[in-house]
A and B are shown apart, each in its own frame.
Chain A
Amino acid sequence: MNLLTAVLFLPLAGFLIALLIPRSAAQASRVWALAVSLVTFVASLGLLAYFNRSLAGPQFTVDIPWIPTPDIHFHIAADGVSLWLALLSTFLTPICALISWRAVQKSVKEFYAFLLLLEFGLIGVFLAQDLFLFYVFWEVSLVPMYFLIGIWGHERRIYAAVKFFLFTMAGSVLMLAAIIFLYTRAGTFSYPELIDMLASGRLTFAPGEQMLLFLAFFVAFAIKVPLFPVHTWLPDAHVEAPTAGSIMLASVMLKMGTFGILHYCVPLFPAAARACAPWIATLAIVGIVYGALVALVQPNMKKLVAYSSVSHLGFVVLGIFSFTQFGMDGAVYQMLNHGISTGALFAIVGLLYERRHSLEIKDYGGVATVAPWLSIAFLITTLASIGLPMLNNFVGEFLVLQGAAIANFSWAIWAALGVIFSACYMLWLYQRVFYGEAGQEVRAHIPDLNFREWAAIIPLLAMMVWMGVYSQSFLPPVGKTTARVLEQSQVNVPYQVRNAPAHRASPGALTARLAGPLPLASATGTTEVARAR
């Protein structure tokens, strides 16, 4: 029992107690959920305080045998990436509780209970060090989200919830099979042990075997990210979800996918990951440009933000598969940035919906006249989202694109197009909703932010500025962990980089130094994977 365990189980305890609150005491449910999530957040700040930033590996490890056969452990720990993602969850849950205060009037008790259960599942996914435990949390987080969409969503909520569930499950099944197969091969579910075995050569995969395992994990994660072309569940889920569901879904749940890729796919199956890198990077770039273009023409605000997520998450995947220090650092930073800025976008869109009861852009216009502070909050969020320097997304996008430019310059060219389009769709949205003359309905129904809403929005805005201006508060632990992932992605690589011809546009040693601990795997080199054995 340590602080990490406390952070993980506080929301679960909160959930169980929330079930005991009588249904009639709706306000008590709200207050309880807010209190529990705040306490959890404070506890997670304690983690941050005690986290040793000079170490790369997992910290706060708790390893307790859980099920004897098969050998499953309750094994959790936090490294420089999962720590931040857990913190992102604990940071956003109280904000969701606040944002839903008035918006949710139906089955209030269950809503807040599910919110806490969701927090438990999400934190668990990031902390689990046992593959089976990871899978359990993965599924645990799925259930409350399914109900949040299915019960508190809008008109087509059932369709959206089922679509969300089916898409995710299709991937989960593959992943479970791969986990079980890994167990039969390695005799353990323990992630650190698997890494050790791979590093020492006690565990090796045949190329075809490795590729299939990689793909089984990757498809599960890619659907969650979501990567083009398996992204179509996301717009539906977002449009139908209640505000808090959208925030948790976009800000944290999608990161389960990118975290999984970084934490499992790359270190466990490095050769396959590197072999697939050109293909996956291409899909990521298609997603960046495609998501932005489709966002451009959406008539519905939530759908627009949902497609913008497809575009932003493309940057994360591109960064990881650039296999450079910059790209991976940027990818992780971008996960956090997207969590903050898209969370804020959904929060404010939710506030607009609460007032005007419409998500259609055409029902708005002139909001800046009647609700200037709300408009400014949305403007800052918009600017963060389109990557204005001194706000958070810029740092992440810069690093991702820099990594891509070093891996393959044409990737950077194509991906940077997404930066142009992001300005197009967000500014056009802003113009149509906030500028222009305020109509009758807008004047009558849209008051400015109240104190509770400020309390939810201000922390998000503050984080955008902090993360944009002083990234040193956040990046160093990330860099330690990604450097380790890069190192791990060199083991068990059957092909030899030194034999591969130099990359076409590579300027030589400098690129290699910038790319990470070992020379860059180029597209030309990876084709030899299949032949190596």
Chain B
Amino acid sequence: MKLHEYQSKRIFSQYGIPIPKGEVAATPQEAEAIAEKLGSRVVIKSQVLVGGRGKAGGIKLANDPQEAEKIASQILGMQIKGLPVRKVLVDEAADIRSEIYLGITNDRAAHKPVMMSSSAGGVEIEEVARQTPEKIIKVHIDPFLGLREYQARDIAVGIGLLAEHWLTFGKIAQGLWKAYESNDATLAEINPLVVTGDDQLLAVDGKMLIDDNSLFRHPDLAEMRDLDEEAKSETEAREHDLSFIKLDGNIGCMVNGAGLAMATMDILKLFGGAPANFLDIGGGASAEKVAVALRLILTDPNVKAVLFNIFGGITRCDEVAHGILAALAEVKPKVPMVVRLVGTNAEEGRKLLADAKMITADTLAEASQKAVAAAKGGQK
């Protein structure tokens, strides 16, 4: 789960990381009032969950409250990478002397958290890694010991920070580690961490990703999810414990198991089709869940055919067949449906569906080819 910049920075601040004074506004008038209160030059920052906000014109300086109002009204009306801007953060503008990158993420290969830092702040770390990998200092953190003081000092030295800043930098690094660990983050990033004209360190931008699997122990974080920022179908899927991702193609897919769902998408492409979605109905899916899943697929007007690929293990094919029948009765789809049932109770499942006017197939390849043909036919 992604957090907005303002949410991330508020969390950082709870762990002693200095952030600029600022507040969130949903209207130009609110932005003006905040700028008035701050009484300084401000920066108006769009709050959307994508990168590249600056390049898209979603971050701008304003010299006075009137200008803040004007700029906020421009930014609040824009779309950035397809996402409408609904909120802006109005922050006191910082007097930036230099910019540092500081972040913690999970190093999958080392199975440990890794703190990364670079003197080339303000640029995406992936970009720095491509252009000047020697500028990135990496330190792995022992998950039981946490970040040690000497490690933070090593990083400060590594990025060429002046000795007078080491202590403050160490506190910020420690705060970031605590924010990461205590909130089950998979990424906690300050970019940039700036050295100001009066020699202070300040986290002017922040980003956090939270491990979805940990939300059971972080109800406060779960509430921060911004539902405006994801497709409605994905929200509904999550509420029903389905794994759903909308794609651009025209063949709806319902599959049990994530790996098989990906393989099914791939094979459609191989045979000249395009998947409309990724959907894993999970193990032991009930008839009710199947019905919800089918409704989700069919709400996409691009869908010209639906492919069901069910390999029964824990999931029983007859149970899935009941779900398909229930869903068909309710949504009365007009597009052709291809179904392949294999494994546990597949025979019973096929019998149940015999009268449902569905196209059947035995192998994955056959099912995919039939789905591709059906989708093309439906486009005439």
Chains A and B come from one and the same complex: no
